[in-house]
Amino acid sequence: MILRYEQKNISDRRPFHHQKGFTLIELLSVMVIMSVMTSVSVKKFDLLSDTASVNAIKAGLRELNTRETLVWTQMKLSDAGWENDDGVFNALDKNLGTGYRWDPGPLTSGGTLHYKSQSIDLNRTQSTRHSVGSWK
C-alpha cells in the first residue's frame, strides 16, 4: 500500500482566494478622481449661474427699450399724438417679471435694475417728439 501525501497549497485554504475585488488603493484613487471632477463641475455651475443672471439683466434692458419704443410709437400714431415724456414713461410697463426688482426706481431718469445677484445702473434718456427715449 502506497500512501500518498498530497500537500495542499496554502492559498487553497482561503475561501475567497479566487474572487476578484478592488484594492484599497484603487478605491481611494477613484474617490480622488471623483472629488476633483465634482469640484470642477461646482465651479462651472457657479460660473454658469452668474452668466445666466448677467444675460437676464441684458435681456431686461432690451425689453425695456423695446417697450419704450412701442409705447412711443403708439402715442405718435394715436389721434391725440405725442404730448410729453411723462406720458410715455407713465404708459410704459416697467415690471419685467419674476426675479427682477428696482432699487431705486424706476424713475424718469433711470434706476438700478436687479436680477438675483446681478444689478445694473440704468440711465434713461427722455423721449422727444422726434426720437424715442432709451435705457442705457
Global model pTM greater than 0.85: no
How is residue 107 annotated by DSSP? Answer: B
**Mean of all residue pLDDT scores within the chain:** 86
Rounded CA-CA distance 16/5 in Å is: 25
pLDDT number for residue 62: 95
The one-letter amino acid at 48 = L
Is it true that the peptide bond before 15 is cis, omega within 30 degrees of 0? no
pLDDT number for residue 116: 87
Q: Which has the closest alpha carbon to 91: 111, 104, 74?
A: 74
For residue 34, what pLDDT band results from cuts at 50, 70 and 90?
very high
Confidence check: pLDDT of 57 > 90: yes
- 66-87 pLDDT, tens digit per residue, is 999 999 999 999 988 888 999 9
**Cα–chain-centroid distance for residue 136?**
22
The share of the chain scoring above pLDDT 70, in percent, equals: 85
pLDDT number for residue 11: 54
pLDDT number for residue 15: 62
For residue 3, what pLDDT band results from cuts at 50, 70 and 90?
low
pLDDT number for residue 109: 94
How far, in Å, are 18, 34, 89, 93, 136 from residue 65 at the CA level? 74, 46, 12, 11, 9
Q: Which has the closest alpha carbon to 94: 116, 75, 118, 67?
A: 67
pLDDT number for residue 42: 77
Helices (H), the chain: 24-77, 85-91
What are the cell numbers at 25? 488603493
The one-letter amino acid at 47 = L
